[in-house]
Amino acid sequence: MVRVVRLMLVLVLVSLSARPVHATFHFMSISELGAGFLGNPNVQFVELRLDAAGQNNLATTRLTSFDKDGNAKVILVTPTGVANGGTGATVLYATTEFQTATGVTPDFIIAADVVGPSGMICWGAPGTASPADPATWDFDKSNNYVDCVAYGSYPHATRFASGTPTSLLPGDGTRSLTRAKNDSVAGSNDMDFVLAAASPCNNAGTCASLVPSPTPTATPSTPGKAQIACRRAVIKAGTKFAAAYLQAKVGCETQRLKGKVATCPDAKTTTKIASADAKRTKTIVKACGALTPGDAGFGGTCPGFTGDCTAPIASVADVSSCVGCGARRAGDELVATVYAAPADATFTKCQLAFGKAVAGHTRAVAALLARCEDGVARGKIVGACPDTKTAGRIAAKTVKLRTTLCKACGGKDKVCGGPDDAPPATLGVTTCPTRTVPGGSACGPITTGDLGGIVECGGCVASFASTCGTAFVAHPGTLPPSCSAP
């Protein structure tokens, strides 16, 4: 009897430890994902890895994205299984833009819903040998999936077995979010994923290259005088328009808080913006003349800014329109953040100061960065901006911004953190936008439950607007992915 019991225990242990080789699907994991390659935010993909043999049965599994607010959207209900079920084989979900850019055929075509810079991608279904019928389970519950990858310090509920979200973004233009260890049944996203050279492969074993093609050696490395003058004009005119646009919007919001206009933008503000728009185009067209968009530093399409501004570029006038689009996107997001609350008679002074100071800081930092970029274009400054001198000035202005905001909204002691601080609801910043400053910090994880957090958020959003806004006009061909992310 003892021998029989022992034999039964051995059989049970073997059955638990052995992974099946017949067609199934639940021993798989997300091995790589990325968005925003080759200068196109819609070049996106999700790669699965077979962690055991025979995981062919993918039909009716779901690939689902969760955005920064935790909202779930089914990208695709997988229509079929795959042929190659060998251990270590991969399955590729990717966009049509990915296929066009790389020439690699995905196993399944998906919409561009690999969101960033904060979100979660989940794949799978309940079940073991066969995925459960999609009609029988909730797609917005992460624990129903075989695997999930949460990135950008995703702040919402995640799949329990996937652990803590990683703070990394879904790619930086050349590298993708890549699994370095563990699989879907063990580990934690923050420890398991790294940024590595993007190399997604389909089930047939064909892998894509997502490294931008080098500039042809026949192209002059140094632009001529006409090109330099054109590029300087684009930087200057773009920065001036961004400042004028933001100033016009702030002016209207100031009047709204004072009760002098009902909504923004009003007719006066619209007229001011139209005038600044025309001046920008006139300056750029005059300086660039008969030159091509390439001479101005732009490609065949606008490089994209916070999920928009991707129109075709065929002329210098189109360059101006692209520049204007970027400035508007940056200004609108900033204004929406710092003027989110309705007027409050008790804290009008604080509300006015908050918007004015953050917007003023944005314009000032953008002007410093534009001056630096102009120096680079003229060959007066070597290296990337900001240089040491510019960085020092920006740091000083950042300190001043915090002091100004705490003084205006910090109550009688004029410091953040006191008992009489203006309540967060007064300023309307309930969550900080999920933006990441190139080379800097992420705004999204900032907690806005007190005045100190709101001040930090305002400074972060201002830094994003000025840094990405300047990069958009000075380096459109190498715009950081966090600037173009939706």
pLDDT confidence of residue 284 = 96
231: helix, strand or coil: helix
Residue 470: how many CB atoms within 10 A of its CB? 27
Question: What are the DSSP calls for 365-396, one per residue?
Answer: HHHHHHHHHHHHHTTSS-SSSS-HHHHHHHHH
CB 353, CB 408: distance < 8 Å = yes
Q: Using 50, 70 and 90 to split pLDDT, how confident is the model at 259?
A: very high
DSSP 258: T
pLDDT confidence of residue 213 = 57
Residue 34 confidence (pLDDT) above 60? yes
Copy the structure tokens of residue 351: 């509300």
DSSP 195: E
Give CA–CA dist 445/441, Å, rounded: 10
254 vs 479, more confident = 254
CA dist 344 → 110, 245, 401, 429 (Å): 46, 25, 22, 14
Residue 133: how many CB atoms within 10 A of its CB? 11
Q: Using 50, 70 and 90 to split pLDDT, how confident is the model at 110?
A: very high
Question: What are the DSSP calls for 416-447, one per residue?
Answer: TTSTTSPPHHHHT-SS----B-TTS-BSTT--
Copy the structure tokens of residue 256: 């709204």
Q: Where are the alpha helices (DSSP H) in 85-224?
A: 96-102, 189-192
Percent of the chain whose pLDDT exceeds 70: 93
- What is the average per-residue pLDDT within 309-331? 95
Give CA–CA dist 38/304, Å, rounded: 12
Q: Give per-residue pLDDT as tens, 349-378.
A: 999 999 999 999 999 999 999 999 999 998
Write the CB contacts of 214 (distance below 8 Å, at least 6 apart in sequence): none
Give CA–CA dist 444/428, Å, rounded: 15
- What is the average per-residue pLDDT within 306-325? 94
Triad 33, 102, 44: Cα angle to 5°: 30
- Quick one: which of 168, 155, 159, 184 has its CA closest to 50? 184
pLDDT confidence of residue 383 = 81
Copy the structure tokens of residue 113: 């819903």
- Quick one: which of 118, 89, 126, 112 has its CA closest to 177? 118
Q: Give per-residue pLDDT as tens, 11-33.
A: 333 343 334 445 789 999 999 99
Phi and psi at 120, nearest 5°, equal -150, 140
- What is the average per-residue pLDDT within 130-147? 96
Give CA–CA dist 101/211, Å, rounded: 11
pLDDT confidence of residue 112 = 86
Q: Using 50, 70 and 90 to split pLDDT, how confident is the model at 214?
A: low
- Quick one: which of 413, 445, 11 has its CA closest to 190? 445
Triad 171, 479, 306: Cα angle to 5°: 75
Max CA pair span of the chain: 97
pLDDT confidence of residue 485 = 85
DSSP 200: -
CB 25, CB 61: distance < 8 Å = yes
Q: Give per-residue pLDDT as tens, 224-255.
A: 899 999 999 999 999 999 999 999 999 999 99
Q: Residues in the chain, how many?
A: 486
312: helix, strand or coil: strand
- What is the average per-residue pLDDT within 139-162? 94
pLDDT confidence of residue 135 = 95
For the entire predicted model, the pTM comes to 0.59
Write the CB contacts of 190 (distance below 8 Å, at least 6 apart in sequence): 163, 164, 165, 166, 167
CA dihedral 149, 151, 156, 158 (to 10 degrees): 20
Residue 178: beta bridge partners?
32, 194
Residue 263: how many CB atoms within 10 A of its CB? 7
Beta strand pairing call for 72-77 and 90-94: unpaired
Q: Give per-residue pLDDT as tens, 376-416.
A: 998 888 888 999 999 999 999 999 999 999 999 999 999 99
Task: Tell me the one-letter amino acid at 313.
Answer: I
- Quick one: which of 306, 310, 302, 334 has its CA closest to 234? 302
- What is the average per-residue pLDDT within 257-271? 95
pLDDT confidence of residue 417 = 87
Write the CB contacts of 57 (distance below 8 Å, at least 6 apart in sequence): 23, 24, 25, 81, 129, 130, 131
Write the CB contacts of 73 (distance below 8 Å, at least 6 apart in sequence): 64, 65, 66, 67, 113
Q: Give per-residue pLDDT as tens, 266-291.
A: 999 999 999 999 999 999 999 998 89
- What is the average per-residue pLDDT within 145-156? 94
Phi and psi at 276, nearest 5°, equal -65, -35
Question: What are the DSSP calls for 282-304, one per residue?
Answer: HHHHHHHTT--TTTTT--SB---
Helix axes 267-288, 225-257, angle to 10 degrees: 170
Give CA–CA dist 99/105, Å, rounded: 6
91 vs 441, more confident = 91
Q: Give per-residue pLDDT as tens, 436-447.
A: 998 888 898 899
